[in-house]
Structure 1
Amino acid sequence: MWNHFIRHNKYAGAVLAVIRVYLGYTWLTAGIGKWMSGSFDASGFMKGAIASASGENPAVQGWWAAFLQHIALPNAELFSNVVMIGEILVGMALILGVFTNFAALMGIIMNFAYLFSGTVSINAQMVLLTTFLIVAGFNAGKFGLDRWIIPFMNRKLVKNGTPKKKVRTVH
C-alpha cells in the first residue's frame, strides 16, 4: 500500500517535488560554494577521515580509510573536482527534475561516502530523504522535466527498434 502510494499518488508526487528541490538546492549550494572558493581541496578532509580510523573507538572503518589513503588521497585533485562537479550536477538535476532517479542515486552515493568518512552533519537526513525519491521512481520527477523526458526517451527507444521495455510513468 505504501509503495503504491509513494510511486503513483499525485499528492505524494508534489511532496516529493518539494523534497527533491530542497535536496537539489542543498547539493547545488554546496558545490557552488566549493567552486566559488577557487581552491577546494578535499585532501584535508581525507586525511582527517584516515586519522579517524585509528584509536580506541574509530569513527571510520579500516577498509574505507585504506581506500582513502591508497586511492583517493594520491588523486586528491581528481577527487576534489569530482566532488565539486558532482554536487553541482546532482543539485541541478534534482532541482529541474531531470533524470531524477539517477541524480538521487549519485547523491546518496556521495552522502554515504561522507558518512563513511566520519561526517555526520546533514548527511543522514539527506540519505533518508533521498531514499524516498529513489523508492518513488518516476513519481519523484513527475513535477519536473522527467514528465516529458522519460516518455520521449521511451518513444525513441521503441522507434529505434529497441525492445519495448518502458519506464513506468504515472498519468
Structure 2
Amino acid sequence: MTELLRKNNVVAGILAIIRIYLGYSWITGGWGKITGGSFDATGFLHGAIAKSTGEHPAVQSWWAAFLENVALPNASLFTFLVMWGEVLVGIALILGLFTNFAALMGITMNFAFVFSGTVSTNGQMILLTVLLLVAGANAGKFGLDRYVMPYLKTFINKKQSNSIEKVVEV
C-alpha cells in the first residue's frame, strides 16, 4: 500500500486533489481570520482550558496546563501563528511547494485544535494529511515540488561537496 502511495502517477493525481482541497480549507480559514479583524486566540484558549474540568473533560490536564502556562500568556503570538500558519500552509499545499513540511505543520495545528476540544473537520483533515505524509514526494509530484526539490537536492549536494573539499584542503 505504501509503495502505491509513493510511486503511482494516478495516486499522485488523487493526492493533488486532496492536497488542493486541504490547502483551500486552510487558506480560507486563515484568510477569514486575517481579514475579519476580530480573531483573537484568547477566547479559544480560555474555552479550551474550561473544557479540562468536570466529570468528563474534553481536554486533557497536561494540554490545559500548556495552554494556561504557555499559550495564554502569549495569546497574541499564538493568534499570529494560527492566522498566518493557516494561510501559509494553505498556499504551500495548493501550490504543492514543500508539501511534506506544509502537511506536517497542518497536521500539527489540527492536533492542537483536537487536543483543545474542537472536533469540527479536524479529524477528516488529519486523516487526509496522513495520506499526504505517507505518500512523501508523490504528494507534491503534480506541484512545484516537482521542480523545486531536485534543484534543492543539487544545491545541497554542491554545498556539501564544497565543504568536504575545504576540510580535505586543510
Give your verdict on TM over 0.5: yes
- Report whether the alignment pairs 1:77 with 2:82: no
Q: CA RMSD in A?
A: 1.0
- Regions of 4+ moved over 4 Å: none
1:92 corresponds to: 91
Largest Rg, 1 or 2: 2
Give the match for residue 17 of structure 2.
18
| 2:63 alignment partner in structure 1 | 64
Q: CA deviation at 1:162?
A: 4.6
Q: In the comparison of the two structures, how many residue pairs are matched? A: 162
User: Where does structure 1 lack aligned partners over 5 or more consecutive residues?
Assistant: 164-171
Equivalent residue, structure 2, for 1:114:
113
Does residue 152 of structure 1 match 2:151? yes
CA distance in 1, matches of 2:60, 2:73: 19
Query: Aligned partners of 1:140, 1:128: CA distance in 2, in Å?
Result: 14
Q: What pairs up with 1:10-49 in 2 under 5 angstroms? A: 10-49=9-48
3-state DSSP class of the match of 1:160? helix
Bigger proportion of residues as helix: 2
1:54-95 CA-to-partner distances (Å, cap 9, x unmatched) read 000000000000111111011111100000000000000000
Deviation (angstroms), 1:156: 1.0
Gaps of 5+ in 2: 163-170
TM superposition shift of 1:39: 2.2
Deviates more, 1:153-162 or 1:65-74: 153-162
Counterpart CA distance in 1 for 2:109 and 2:22 is: 13
Q: In the TM superposition, what whole-angstrom CA distance separates every residue of 1:38-57 from its partner, at most 9, and x where no partner exists?
A: 12101101101000000000
Deviations 1:5-59 (A, max 9, x none): 0000000000000000000000000000000111210110110100000000000
Give the CA deviation at 1:160.
2.2
| 1:140 positional shift | 0.1
